[in-house]
Amino acid sequence: MGRDSIPRLMLRFSLPAIGGMLANALYNIVDRIFVGRTVGPAGIGAISIVFPFMLLVIALGLLIGVGAGALVSISLGEKRTARAEKAMGNALVLLSAGSAVIAAAGGFFSTFVLEISGASPTMLPLAKEYMDVIVWGVPFSTLAFGLNFFIRAEGNPRYAMYTLFVGAFANILLDWIMIWGLGMGVRGAALATVASQVLSLGWAAAYYIRKMGRLRFRVKNLAPESRIVLRMTSIGLAPFLTEISFTFVMALFNRVLRNYGGDLAISAMGIFFSLDSLFFLPVLGLAEGVQPIIGYNYGARNYDRVISAVRWAIMLALGYFACSFLVVLVAPEPMIRIFNDTDPELLALSVRAMRIGYSGLVFASVSIIASQTFQAIGKPRKGIFLTLSRHFIFILVPLYFLPPLMGTDGVWMAMPLSDLGGCVIGALFLKYEFAHMRRCMGAEEGVLLPEC
C-alpha cells in the first residue's frame, strides 16, 4: 500500500466494499419494487414508515460490529488470537441481547414506534402488518451483520461479500414467490426479508462452524469483559451516532411530508431513498476502500500519498455523482416506473423529488471522503462532526423553515443544502489537514516537527 499505484489500490479495496453495500441495499429496494407494483403507493409508504426502525437495528450492528471488527484485526495483527476470540464472543453476546431488546420493544410498541415515525391513520395498519413480521428477523440480521465484520477482519472480504449476496438474492426470489405468486402483499415482503436474513446468518455462521477462519467460537468467551466492551463501543460510537442521527432525520422527514404532502409524498420519498441508496453506496464503498490506503500511508508518514489518495477519491466520487445527476435530470421516469407505473401523481411527485433532492449531489463527494479520511488518520471527532453536520444540522434548519414557504419542495430542498453545507465544512477541514501534512513533509530530514 506504500508503493503501488493509488488508483489500482483503490480499485482492489473498493470493489468488494461496493459489491457488498449494493447487495445489502437490495433488501429494501426489492421489497419496495414488488410491493409498489402489487399493493401500490400505499405499500411503498408503509415500508418507508418502518425504515427508521430498521436503521435503528443497523445502528446497533455498527456500534458493536465496527468496534469488535477493529479489535479482532488489531489483536490478530499482534498475534493475540485469544484476545480476538474474546472480542468476538463478547460482541456476539451484546449483539444477541441488544437485538432481542430492540425486537421486543418493536413488537410490543409497534403502534407507538410507527406513529412517531410519521404513520397516518390510513397507513398505520399496512405499516404495522409489515413491522409485526420484520421484528422477528432482527436477531438474525444483527448477528449476520456482526459475523460479517469478524470475517472481514480476518482478511476474507470476499466471503463477507457473499454473505450479503446470499441474503439479497434469496430475498429477490422469495419476494417473487410470496408477493407475486402467493399474493401476500407487505406481509409477504416482510416474511421474505426475515427468511433471507436467516439464510445470511446461516452462511456467515458456516464460516466458523466449518472452521474456515482463524478464530474459534468458545463458550468461555461469552462472559463480558468490561475493558473489551468499553473499547469496542468507543470505536463503534462514530458510525452509531451517524446512523442514529439518520434514523431521527428519516422519521422527521416522514412526519413533515405527511403534514405537507400526505401519504403519497411519503411514498415518493420511499422511492427517492431507494434510488438514493443505489446512487450513494458506490461512493460509500469507494470511501471505505480508500480508508486503509489513507491510514497505512498516514502511519508510514507518506503524506504525499495520503493527499493523492484523498484527491483521487474526491475526483472519482465527484465524476460519478455528476454522471448520476445527469441521468436523474434527463431520464428519471424509467427508474421510478420500476416501483410503480400506474399512478401518474406519484410519478410526477417522485420526479420532482429526485430533480430537487439530487441537485447538490456533486457536493456530497467532498464531505463523504473527508469524513472517512479523518476516521482513517485517527481523528474521528472531525469525521463525526462532518457526518453529523451533513446528516443532522444542515438538514434540520432548512427542514424547519422551508416547508411552510415551499411545501414539499422545501423538504426536497433540505437535501442539496445539507450536501452544500457538508462540502464547505469538509473542504475547510481538508485544507487545514493538508497544510499540516505539507509542513511535516517540509521539515528537514531527520528533524520531526513537534506537531507531526
Q: Phi/psi class of residue 128: alpha, beta or left (left: φ > 0; alpha: ψ in -120 to 50)?
A: alpha
Reduced 3-state DSSP string for 214-230: CCCCCHHHHCCCHHHHH
Rounded to the nearest 10°, the torsion over CA 49, 279, 151, 172 is 60
Amino acid at site 372: Q
Q: Indicate the number of domains in the chain.
A: 1
Which band of pLDDT confidence, cut at 50, 70 and 90, is reported for residue 406?
Answer: very high
Q: In terms of Cα–Cα distance, which of 206, 72, 189 is closest to 131?
A: 189
- Count other C-beta atoms under 10 Å from residue 164's C-beta: 24
Which band of pLDDT confidence, cut at 50, 70 and 90, is reported for residue 195?
Answer: very high
Which band of pLDDT confidence, cut at 50, 70 and 90, is reported for residue 444?
Answer: very low
Q: Are 35 and 270 in contact, with CB atoms under 8 Å apart?
A: no
Please state, in angstroms and rounded to a whole number, the distance separating the CA atoms of residues 336 and 349. Answer: 10
Geometric angle at alpha carbon 71, from 383 and 366, rounded to 5°: 20
All three cell numbers of 418: 445539507
- Give domain status of residue 125, yes or no: yes
All three cell numbers of 172: 429477490
Residue 91, pLDDT above cutoff 50: yes
Residue 351, pLDDT above cutoff 60: yes
- Give domain status of residue 196, yes or no: yes
Give the CA radius of gyration of the chain.
Answer: 22
Question: Over the stretch 118-168, which tens digit does the pLDDT of each residue have?
Answer: 888 888 999 999 999 999 999 999 999 888 888 877 777 778 878 888 888
Q: How far is CA 25 from CA 5, 168, 436, in A?
A: 30, 8, 38
> Which of 278-310 are b and which e, b meaning 16 or more Cβ less than 10 Å from the residue's Cβ?
ebbbbbbbbbbbbbebbbbbbeeebbebbbbbb
- CB-based contacts of 41: which residues, under 8 Å, 6+ apart? 263, 264, 267, 340, 343, 346
SS3 341: coil
Question: Over the stretch 354-382, which tens digit does the pLDDT of each residue have?
Answer: 999 999 989 999 998 998 888 778 787 88
Which band of pLDDT confidence, cut at 50, 70 and 90, is reported for residue 1?
Answer: low
Which band of pLDDT confidence, cut at 50, 70 and 90, is reported for residue 451?
Answer: low
Q: Are 47 and 130 in contact, with CB atoms under 8 Å apart?
A: yes
Q: Are 32 and 47 in contact, with CB atoms under 8 Å apart?
A: yes
Candidate from 101-110, 151-160, 251-260, 278-287 with smallest mean pLDDT: 151-160
> Which of 103-127 are b and which e, b meaning 16 or more Cβ less than 10 Å from the residue's Cβ?
bebbbeebeebbbebbbbeebbebb
Question: Over the stretch 413-435, which tens digit does the pLDDT of each residue have?
Answer: 999 999 999 999 999 999 999 99
Overall size of the chain counted in residues: 452
- Give domain status of residue 105, yes or no: yes
Percent of the chain with pLDDT over 70: 96
Query: Between 214 and 125, where is the model more confident?
Result: 125
- Give domain status of residue 446, yes or no: no
- Give domain status of residue 159, yes or no: yes
Q: Are 266 and 127 in contact, with CB atoms under 8 Å apart?
A: no
- Give domain status of residue 183, yes or no: yes
- Give domain status of residue 450, yes or no: no
Alpha helices (H) in 39-80, listed in sequence order: 41-77
Q: Are 329 and 354 in contact, with CB atoms under 8 Å apart?
A: no
Which band of pLDDT confidence, cut at 50, 70 and 90, is reported for residue 447?
Answer: low
- Give domain status of residue 447, yes or no: no
Please state, in angstroms and rounded to a whole number, the distance separating the CA atoms of residues 423 and 166. Answer: 36
Q: Are 24 and 168 in contact, with CB atoms under 8 Å apart?
A: yes
pTM of the model: 0.80
Full domain range(s) for residue 284? 6-441
